[in-house]
Chains A and B, each alone.
Chain A
Amino acid sequence: MPMEPKLSHYINAASTLDTSNLEKKIRIGILGSFTLNGLEEILQVKCAEKKISASIFVSGYNQYNQDILNDKSNLYDFSPDITFLILDTRSILGNFFYTVYSLSVDQRKELIEKKSEEIINLLQIFTKKSKSKLVVTNLSIPTYSPYGICETKAEFGLVEMVINLNSKLVNYAKDNPSVYVYDFNGFVTRFGESNIFDFRQFFFGDIKINLEFLPTFAEDLMGYVKAMMGINKKCIVLDLDNTLWGGIVGEDGFNGIKLGPTAPGNAYVEFQRSILALNQRGIILAINSKNNEDEALEVLRNHPHMILREENFASIRINWNDKVSNMKEIAEELNIGLDSMAFFDDDPVNREYMTLNLPEVLTVNLPSDPALYASTLYYISDFNVLKITDEDIKRKDMYLQEKKRKDFEKDATNLEDFIKQLDVKLKIKKADQFTIPRISQLTLKTNQFNLTTKRYQEEEIRQFSQDGNMLVGCAQVEDKFGDNGITGVFIVKKENTKEWMIDTFLLSCRVMGREIEKGILSHIINKASENKIERLKAQFVPTKKNKPVENFLPDCGFHKEGDYWVYPINSSFKVPDYLGISVE
């Protein structure tokens, strides 16, 4: 576990925190069944470290029932964006935590039925009354039982009861997109019940998460905050020598590097396996290494114990250039922001250099012992997303297709020919249960080709899609190299019988530069025309990152009227004829 600063550090830092210049804002609600003092300060400081200004509401001690049930509670007044409901086994089971075997098997089953219904009822009421995401903790499974070694023989015993309640929570959350279950039991398992639960702190002040571990707990909760704010990392950039394998290939040679089934080589294998698993889930990989390219590639291609192979990397920079320049090139090649990248390098000097020059890159403080590499990776909460979509899973293939596309582009004589030969097919799709999670995800994380950079959670997109005065859709893009998935989104407000307003228009960086935006816009214009609309309005809200979309509106024939760009529907709009457009 990386060293977390002590709780007093956060409490003091929070007292002098100036968040007035931070653009990103979040409102966090904290409800709990025990003392959670200190959590507010830690979350405030951790958010500020991520350039987020956090307003935090902490419910009174054990007041979560009242706050959720009462329509007029301060919680609803506060209107949180995300709410953490932190529960513990002792509070939920009450005296039965100690005397559970005074009940018959049927009574134990009834008790769990009743307790899980009570909690789920609260979740239902909260989600009806609030737009906030709700993260509820599961219950920590007790390790002590009065039945001792017979606990596992007991029918519906204490352990089984808690597991049963936990699975009821998980099943509920699976069907409710705004509800998440935080695996508090997993947290306790990771660090040990005797570490997390300190009897003295419990007796003093009903503190059920040892103050020493409160910052670590908060870091886990930050995983939700970062995912919600769309500031998660999308790409892992790796050094090679002493990072993916032990030793230096240029000196120790192909056969001399440490990588294989025995220590210390197996620590690197473990690290590579963990990275591969993230890659399979949608995290892009890249290499930034000072090495002779031939020697390093030989290892990537032919070493019998390499887990990560050349084809796992969407971008490779193995050279003697400066690592910061390499990093910028990788970001450019992959068309993602430097702030979406995490960098792993064993050399503290390289890390310092990266941090100084590119502070927006998450430079991971890799410990000097490779045995700790994998666990360091597990602790990072920056790779979380609120939903793992089909696009995430396909992403690694998509970047490989993109590599082939780039090679193809090099051979094409001009851009138009290139796009023609790509055989681009654009499918316009409605917002429905299959596409809404991805639409929301794209609004949360698309920065470059995004006219207004409005961020929308799934629930908001769902509401828009049911609103007759809104037009919400997305675009799936395919070409001869494969399926890029849903990579474009539009949200239009039907303001009145004459005017429609483009609220959101965005394109994933993955498909920029292929005139797809014109295909999507033509669909909106056609729809407007069918509805006898006269004018389509739009806005360009400049940010630090959306320069690629700056000239899109004038290039498409919009003219400026005050703060808006306006397109008269009766004018003819030319769609590139090589785009195959279909509407579902």
Chain B
Amino acid sequence: MSKRLYDLIGKVMNVPVSQINDNSGPESIESWTSFNGYVLLYELEHEFNVKFTMEEAIDVKTISDIKRHLQNHGVVFND
């Protein structure tokens, strides 16, 4: 499941997946602007069929935050 998440983030932020890890976020990925952050949120919602609350969306600082919120919505990361 992490791969699916990383692939999507790589696609939206236009960066190689090899440059992404759980600590990545707007601080480390230059293309992670606030607008691309919104694009990512709505594409995540489509990909994983979830709806984030506004609090969750605002709270995203790194990919591990995204994972945590996805898990709260029932997405399972086994890896």
Contacts and interface: CB of A to CB of B under 8 A. Distances in A.
Interface residues of A, number: 19
Nearest to A6: B43
A39 to B, nearest CB: 11
Contact of B57 (A8, A35, A204): A204
B7 to A, nearest CB: 11
Interface string A1-24: 000001110011001000000000
Contact of B38 (A6, A15, A211): A211
A8 B46 contact: no
B14 A12 contact: yes
A6 to B, nearest CB: 6
A17 to B, nearest CB: 13
B42 interface: yes
Contacts of B35: 35, 37-38, 205
A35 B39 CA distance: 13
Chain A CB within 10 Å, residue with most, of B34, B38, B58: B38
A200 interface: yes
A15 B14 contact: yes
A212 B42 contact: yes
Contacts of A11: 12, 14, 36, 39
Interface residues of B, number: 16
Contact of A8 (B11, B52, B54): B11
A70 B71 CA distance: 52
A8 B32 CA distance: 12
Given A37-B35, A38-B35, A201 B14 contact: no
B57 A38 contact: no
Interface in A11-52: 11-12, 15, 35, 37-38
**Main SS of the interface on chain A?**
helix
A297 interface: no
B39 A38 contact: yes
A434 interface: no
B30 to A, nearest CB: 13
A561 to B, nearest CB: 55
B38 A204 contact: yes
Interface string A200-218: 1101110100111000000
A203 B58 CA distance: 11
Contact of A211 (B14, B39, B52, B57): B39
A8 B34 contact: no
Contacts of A38: 35, 39
A200 B57 contact: yes
Interface of A: 6-8, 11-12, 15, 35, 37-38, 198, 200-201, 203-205, 207, 210-212
Given A35-B35, A200-B54, 11 more contacts: A6-B43, A7-B42, A7-B43, A11-B14, A12-B11, A37-B35, A38-B39, A200-B57, A204-B58, A205-B34, A210-B42
8 smallest beta-carbon distances between A and B, as pairs: A8-B12, A37-B35, A12-B14, A211-B42, A200-B54, A7-B39, A8-B11, A8-B39
27 contacts: A6-B46, A7-B39, A8-B11, A8-B12, A8-B39, A8-B40, A11-B12, A11-B36, A11-B39, A12-B11, A12-B14, A15-B14, A35-B35, A37-B35, A38-B35, A198-B42, A200-B57, A201-B38, A201-B42, A203-B54, A204-B34, A204-B54, A204-B58, A205-B35, A207-B38, A211-B42, A212-B42
